[in-house]
Amino acid sequence: MSTTTATRTDPIMIYRPDGPLGRPSITLTPAPPSLSGLRVAVLDNGKPNTLLVLTRLAETLSSRTGTKVSLVTKKGPQGMSANAAIPCAPDIFERVVAEADLVITGMADCGSCTAYSVHDTIEFEKVGRPAVVVTTTRFEPITETLASNFGLPGIRRLVLPHPVGGTDPDTLHQWADAAVDRLITLYSA
């Protein structure tokens, strides 16, 4: 066996390609002792049917636990528009923090909208507002990955069937109603 061949078959050390992480670590805001009387904000990123689903979730949560829907808004400046591919507008972020104790946001049912819904959710957690990101079965893996990337692998996430866009309102209401037990658990744990 030649020297060259012997070298080719020896184990060697090479670099990993991924490099280190520069991410921060974030912790969940502790769950409140009781949900009764707490104010809930619905933050809509403008994806189709998001307003319908999030509003139904928040209203059903209120009827079950005694929370109050205090704010329903799109995430763009002055709540006049929504762009799912960038963070929540600063004025709306401040308004949600001022007017709500709990946040529900979405829809994390595409790529960039999942990235920024997860981002927004974490920003609310960082200022002490328990926040739930609503996603769908088909986008749960990317929601988990991105939440982990952004430093909060245990993000409060509510998973609905897929797809929310293009599904009829009656079905969406049923999906939302079926998810409320889980929503209560997310805000209580």
Partner 1 sequence: MTQTDERGADQVAEVPEAPAMIELADLSPEAMYELFEAHGWGDGLPLVPATPARVDAMLAEATGDPDEVIATLQPRFGAATRRVVAINAVLAGCPPAVFPVVVSAVRALARPQVNLRGVNATTHPSAPLVIVHGEIVKRAGFNAGVGAFGPGNRANATVGRAIRLVMLHVAGARPGFGDAASQGQPSKYTYCVAENTDESPWESYALSRKVDAPSAVTVHCGENPHNVHDDEADGDPALILDKIASAMTSLGMNNACISQGEFFIGLGPEHAASLALGRLTREDIASYLFDRARLPAGEFRRHFEERAWANWMHAVSDDHLLPMTATPDNIRIFVVGGPGKHSSVIPSWGMTRSVTIPVTG
For partner 1, the closer CB: 11 or 30: 11
Which of 29, 55, 62, 83 touches partner 1 by CB under 8 A?
83
For partner 1, the closer CB: 116 or 187: 116
Minimum gap (Å) between residue 46 Cβ and partner 1? 4
Q: How far apart are CA 146 and CA 135, in angstroms?
A: 12
- Tell me if 142 contacts partner 1 by CB under 8 A: yes
CA 127 to the chain's CA centroid: 15
Minimum gap (Å) between residue 18 Cβ and partner 1? 5
Q: Which range, of 52-60, 65-73, 145-153, 156-164, touches partner 1 by CB under 8 A? A: 145-153
CB atoms within 10 A of CB 67: 23
CB atoms within 10 A of CB 23: 11
Check if the beta carbon of residue 133 is closer than 8 Å to that of residue 160.
Answer: no
Radius of gyration for the chain, computed over Cα atoms and rounded to the nearest angstrom: 20
β-bridge mates for residue 44, sequence order: 74, 106
**Binding stretches for partner 1 (CB under 8 A):** 7-24, 46, 48, 81-88, 90, 93, 110-112, 114-116, 119, 123, 139, 141-142, 145-146, 149-151
